[in-house]
Structures are given as structure tokens and as C-alpha cells.
Amino acid sequence: MSTVDTVRGPVPLDQLGPTLIHEHLIMISAEFEKFYPELAWSLPREEVVDKVAAALQEVRERGITTILDCTAFFHGRDMEFVKEVNDRVDMNIIVSSGIYTFDFLPYNVSHRPSDPVEKDMLTRMFVRDITVGVGDSGVKAQSIKVATDLAGITPNNERILRAAASASAQTGAPITVHTHPADQLGPSIQKILSEYGADLTKVVIGHSGDTSDLDYLRGLMDAGSMAGFDRFGLYMPGTATLEERLDTVATLCGEGYADRIGLSHDAVLYSDWSPPGAALKRFPTWVPTHISDVVVPGLRARGVADAQIDTMMVSAPASLFDSIRR
């Protein structure tokens, strides 16, 4: 049985259990944290660790045993924080490599060659996180998170996608792409990733659940990828409502797509992006227990069988990690 590296070490894939495929324990700017800690932390750090651990414990009590944390470079990774939280909660936490930017690249990347892609600094960063570990934490990332948003597939964005594909081809680690589904760029992203060596069955087209366009969603899954219904609870204006998302997932399960669907919230348990509590005030359902408490019962009410829920929450997420080389 293959294993996946978690914060606490390797875990056999058949022991991951119910998994949320896209969450964030903490997003805090490393430079901000280093130079302006009193501004970065709105509460003493220890209190934040306790709060995040308590939030995760509630998730654990619903029977969720694994979380894929999609926080990438530039997104505010703090591996010591994640380890401290994991010491308090009995869960498998898998962490990510990748880079969170829609277009901008810093000079120390943009002034260096992107060709050949295997030697691109971005590729080397991603491979290093996966094969050596994130910084000196001793924790190996097992997934690559990148992002294409409103700016579209710009030259910088294409470079990032190519590097992710190359790193995935070298390591077998899956890729999660943050997308803006209204722009329907999923197929173009899949084309680039595939051209540069990624296996599309190990690619999650993230935030796909923001749309209810069934033909678009079927196309992503027919090409082999997982569609991320990974923003349950975050019902932003202009995106699908809870009811619409439940209807879409139920319809696709009825058509046999359960093994190409991943469920999650994209919840952020602590961030320096906004004052504490501000996001929850705006989106009261954006909590990491929403799937267990509301979404799963809603899917059952629409006739989705327990076996299909198990497929979406257990076997489909585990299969993302079955090609990682050691």
C-alpha cells in the first residue's frame, strides 16, 4: 500500500479516511510575521494555535480524519504553526507546495530563465518542498497548489502552470489549480499541464463548484481531472448558491462522476488578510463543519447514496496521492 507524507509522517492511503481536499489552517505573510509580529498577530500566537486546534477538533468530531492544506508559497505558510496545531488534534494534515499568485512573480524568479522547465527556479522550489521538505520543518509537501484567476493565463501564469506540471511529472504529486470558473479556463489549464507532463487524473480544477454549468464540469472530469466542489460555505455573490451546488453534485453523482468530485470549504482558520471574525461575519456558513452538518445531509436528501459520498470523501481524495514516488 502506498503512503502519503503528512505533518506527522507517512500514512497508508487506505487509512486517510474522510478527507477535505482544500482548506487552510493559516495564511500569514512570513515577512510581515518576521518584521511586524505585533501587527501580524491579532491575538497572542498561542491563543491562535488553540483556536485553530479547537476548530479542527470540531471537524475531527464529525468523523473527518484528513485535511489537505492548500496553503502555498506567497500564501502565508507557517509550518511551525501547523505542527503545533497538529500536536493538539488527532488528524492527518497534508501540506502543499506551489505558489499563490495570479500573475506577479518576484524579480528573483522573473529574472531567471524559465527554460528548460525542469531547471526553472519554480520547478526546483516545488520539487524541493516535495522531496526534501518545506524549509527546515522536516515535513514534505505532497501537493502543488497554483492559481489562475481574473488575469487569465498570462505569460507568467503559463510559466507557473508549466513548472507545476514538470514538478508533478518528476514527483508524482498532484496539482490543485485555483480557478475562476466563470472564465471557463479549465480546459486551457488542463492542456498546458498535460503538455508539460502532468497526469490529468492527478489534477484538481479548484473552485469548479462556483459554477453550475454542467457541460463545463463534465468536460473537466471527462478529461480525467477532479472537479473541486471546494468552496462549500463560501457563497460569494455571482457564484452558485448552496442549493445549486447540492443539485449539481447530486446530478453528477447520478451520472457516475462521484470518483471525479472532491468536497471542501476553502476555509481559512486564521489569516492576517482581514480583521478576526470579518470573513465569518460576511459568510456565516464558511466554517469547516459545514460539509458534515449541512452538505452531506443535503446530498442524501437528493438521493446521493452513502457509497457515492464515501467515494467523494474517501477513495477519490486518496487516489490523488497514489503515484507519489519515494
DSSP character string of 138-174: -PPP-EEEEE--TT-S-HHHHHHHHHHHHHHHHH---
Minimum distance between the CB of residue 268 and Zn ion, rounded to whole angstroms?
8
Could you tell me how many residues of this chain bind Zn ion (CB under 5 A)? 2
Q: How far is the CB of 254 from Zn ion (least distance, A)?
A: 28
Show contacts with Zn ion in window 65-94 (CB under 5 A): 70
Question: Using CB under 5 A, which of the segments 6-14, 41-49, 62-70, 122-130 binds Zn ion?
Answer: 62-70
Which of 164/250 has CB closer to Zn ion? 164
Q: Does 272 bind Zn ion (CB under 5 A)?
A: no
Nearer to Zn ion by Cβ, of 98 and 172: the residue is 98
- Cβ nearer to Zn ion, comparing 70 with 220: 70
Q: How many CB atoms lie within 10 A of CB 116?
A: 9
Q: Provide, rounded to whole angstroms, the least separation between the CB of residue 70 and Zn ion.
A: 5
Beta carbon of residue 209, minimum distance to Zn ion (angstroms, whole number): 13
Among the listed residues 6, 266, 272, 312, the single contact to Zn ion using CB under 5 A:
266
Could you tell me where the DSSP H helices lie in 172-292? 186-195, 214-222, 242-254, 278-282, 290
The region that residue 234 occupies, defined by phi over 0 for left and psi between -120 and 50 for alpha, beta otherwise, is beta
Cα 187-226-193 angle, rounded to 5 deg? 45
- Give the other-Cβ count within 10 Å of 237's Cβ: 4
- Distance between CA atoms of 216 and 51, rounded to whole angstroms? 39
Strands 226-229 and 261-263 turn out to be parallel
Return the residue nearest Zn ion (CB atom): 266
CA 275/CA 230 separation, integer angstroms: 23
The span from the CA of 44 to the CA of 36, in Å, is 13
Q: Which is nearer to Zn ion, 75 or 260 (CB)?
A: 75
Query: Per DSSP, what are the bridge partners of residue 66?
Result: 19, 92
Name residue 301's amino acid. A
| For Zn ion, the closer CB: 210 or 266 | 266
Judged by CB, which is closer to Zn ion: 55, or 70?
70
- Residue closer to Zn ion (CB basis): 3 or 101: 101
Name the minimum Å distance from CB 24 to Zn ion. Answer: 6
Smallest separation (angstroms) from Zn ion to the CB of 3: 25
How is residue 68 annotated by DSSP? Answer: E
Query: Which range, of 38-46, 189-197, 215-223, 265-273, touches Zn ion by CB under 5 A?
Result: 265-273
Fill in the DSSP letter of residue 225.
P
Binding mask 216-255 for Zn ion (x = CB under 5 A): ----------------------------------------
Residues of this chain that interact with Zn ion (CB under 5 A) are 70, 266
